[in-house]
A and B are shown apart, each in its own frame.
Chain A
């Protein structure tokens, strides 16, 4: 127990909090209160360990032991230009953050997005019109529910607020780029993205988390999404952090009547990546797709933690997550589908499939169904296995050498779920990223590909 306290104190306790200093919106008592409550949770609950069900398979020890400084205070980090390694979506409106700090010089102009549409830096909104966030901030991203959310809410500083009024349609996709880079000290940052689509509004948002090589950094991002009736959001998250980086990210979504939340999370980089998603299907006929793919090598650790809450009748959720694991990597999938008593005629499907490239990796998979309604269709499944030798033979029998055959099959394994991405340019971007990742694994000759 003492160990846990020390850990909390050094990582996100007083030292860190003092260094963070006054944050935007601190003079608004409700915002200040939200941050303080969240930090208090970190203090009282400490860093969750294996006894906490949600953190059973993912250890926060390494993060807790690292003496992070607030990344925005590092004076020895200079990122003058957008790194060439950053995946860019053609035609998207870019909004760029380096170590959690908004970079207008690297971003596109956040104007003229169309009638009823605003995209603003989060800090600006906290300072100039905090009231506009009163019903939004913390409405679905509940600090008490998640360590990741509590840490982000306790230290949130910069980010974006995207707001679409009734019926507004965003033609151009928005690409949020969060770039991590540490100087001599490991830095932590806590970007906050708020997305509100009022009735019938439509938008596409791509969130990219990338980083530069160097000291480890901690990217602790939170995206809070509120979708009004018949609104439709396509939300794609690409995590391609630096190989030494930590990423603890959470998306929390509320989906009203007949609204649709389509999402995909691609996770390739990072030393330890935990992606949490909570989708609350609040209104009749609300629907969601929460797919994902990940690729791991070396000693990478990836954790997908998902909660889909069916809280109204005739709601639908589909989730397929596929992972490829090599080296001595570790993959975790914890998925819960909850169906409330009133959520009759729910259709909920969940599938996790892991492909092991050798004997090194380990997969922990815990799917959970919690059903209180009686008229529902729910199914979940999980498979973990090696490559099918019959598939390999089929390709060999066409003259394709074994290395190429295995690479094709690995790519196909992931592509299979990526093909669900409805937005074609994003789908192609993700397919390309996977191709590049695979090529790099082969060049590094990880051995098993």
Chain B
């Protein structure tokens, strides 16, 4: 049994079918990349997996560790180990980043039957994580994502991921808005989390990220379907050729 089993997943928004039958199996330790042009359903897939409201699942199933993921609320999924690094992280005025991080971490600890984290331990943990990701420590005192630059928001997402240690992490265009140095730092952060019982689904437009986070499998998503899968060389091919040939076949 794979860690994640997506079978024939069909999803509609406002009566319009966006995902038209996705099949994808992922094992622990694997990194899968999904590439595709804009508007083809990549973020939709990530939201459906994370449990956002407003998506109608008309067909298919998703198993996570053998359990029916689609039956779980978003917060239950997160506590069970699903994590989505958002393409556009929300700015939340008035909620201090530190408060948010601590609340999230403690929610997970409670689920695992652990006590709430000690205040000092928490600060030390955040100190070391922010250092690793080259995030200014002061940032955690600011309201969540408010006034963060695009790059800072993406690093903050990776910081959250690293804190919550998910078993299934989805990164939705985490590379967009990052310069090459930031890209390297973020990739190091992700690579540091690679482990045999953790799977990553990396959504990206560009091959660039995949030369730092090397995927085991690459899938091409066009028009709500995975139209081709391969190894990392597929990403290189796409970078050189673009999506034109898939889009043509989609239209046909």
Chain A residues at the B interface, C-beta cutoff of 8 Å = 389-391, 393-402, 404-405, 408-409, 411-419
Residues of B within 8 A of A393 (CB): 52-53, 74
Whether a CB of chain A sits under 8 angstroms from the CB of B104 is yes
Q: Is B164's CB under 8 angstroms from A399's CB?
A: yes
Docked complex Cα distance between A415 and B100 (Å)? 14
Docked complex Cα distance between A405 and B104 (Å)? 10
Residues of A within 8 A of B230 (CB): none
A438 to nearest B CB, angstroms? Answer: 12
Are A400 and B75 CB-contacts (below 8 A) given A394-B89, A412-B143? yes
Q: Is A411's CB under 8 angstroms from B103's CB?
A: no
Q: Is A396's CB under 8 angstroms from B103's CB?
A: no
Interface string of B125-164 (1 = CB under 8 A from A): 0000000000000000001100000000000000010001
B38 to nearest A CB, angstroms? Answer: 20
Q: Is A394's CB under 8 angstroms from B86's CB?
A: yes
Docked complex Cα distance between A188 and B74 (Å)? 52
**10 examples of A-B residue contacts, CB within 8 angstroms:** A395-B104, A397-B50, A397-B52, A397-B75, A399-B104, A399-B111, A409-B92, A412-B93, A412-B143, A414-B94
Docked complex Cα distance between A47 and B75 (Å)? 53
- Name the residue on B nearest A419 (C-beta): B94
Whether a CB of chain A sits under 8 angstroms from the CB of B6 is no
Docked complex Cα distance between A30 and B147 (Å)? 55
Are A404 and B107 CB-contacts (below 8 A) given A409-B92, A412-B93, A413-B94? yes
Interface string of B72-99 (1 = CB under 8 A from A): 0111001100011010011011111001
Q: Is A415's CB under 8 angstroms from B94's CB?
A: yes
Are A412 and B92 CB-contacts (below 8 A) given A399-B107, A400-B103? yes
Q: Is A397's CB under 8 angstroms from B84's CB?
A: yes
Residues of B within 8 A of A404 (CB): 103, 107
Residues of B within 8 A of A402 (CB): 73, 75
- Name the residue on B nearest A413 (C-beta): B94
Q: Is A415's CB under 8 angstroms from B95's CB?
A: yes
Whether a CB of chain A sits under 8 angstroms from the CB of B198 is no
- Name the residue on A nearest B111 (C-beta): A399
* Chain B, 151-190, CB within 8 A of any chain A CB: 160, 164
Are A398 and B164 CB-contacts (below 8 A) given A408-B95, A419-B94? yes
